[in-house]
């Protein structure tokens, strides 16, 4: 998969700073025009996630979803969530 990752340093001020928000919006638009997926790294708040969804960010990762875990913890989590 070809993707553009947006570093968490850009997300840190996106809620308070209109310039950061414009920069992220431009990155997402440019990536999509080049047929790239957009992955936002370091999403920590629900407000950041909401804004990224509005900007059509394809994927998000960060503490909002999970703290870092070991491969054993991932395997246990996947086993516990089987349908």
Q: What is the pLDDT of residues 27-63, one digit of tens each?
A: 999 999 999 999 999 999 999 999 999 999 999 999 9
Query: Could you tell me if 32 and 38 are in contact, meaning their C-beta atoms sit under 8 angstroms apart?
Result: yes
Query: Could you tell me if 40 and 6 are in contact, meaning their C-beta atoms sit under 8 angstroms apart?
Result: yes
Cα–Cα distance measured from residue 35 to residue 4, given in angstroms and rounded to the nearest whole number: 10
Cα–Cα distance measured from residue 7 to residue 59, given in angstroms and rounded to the nearest whole number: 13
**Global pTM value:** 0.81
Which tokens is 32 given?
């999509």
Range of the domain at 76: 3-80
User: What is the average pLDDT across 53-82?
Assistant: 91
pLDDT for 5-30, tens place per residue?
999 999 999 999 999 999 999 999 99
Q: How many domains does the chain have?
A: 1
């Amino acid at each position: 998969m070809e993707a553009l990752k947006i570093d968490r340093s850009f997300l840190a001020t996106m809620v308070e700073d209109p310039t950061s928000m414009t920069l992220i919006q431009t990155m997402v638009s440019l990536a999509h025009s080049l047929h790239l997926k957009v992955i936002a790294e370091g999403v920590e708040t629900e407000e950041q996630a909401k804004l990224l969804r509005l900007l059509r960010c394809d994927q998000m990762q960060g503490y909002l979803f999970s703290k870092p875990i070991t491969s054993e913890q991932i395997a246990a989590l996947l086993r516990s969530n089987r349908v």
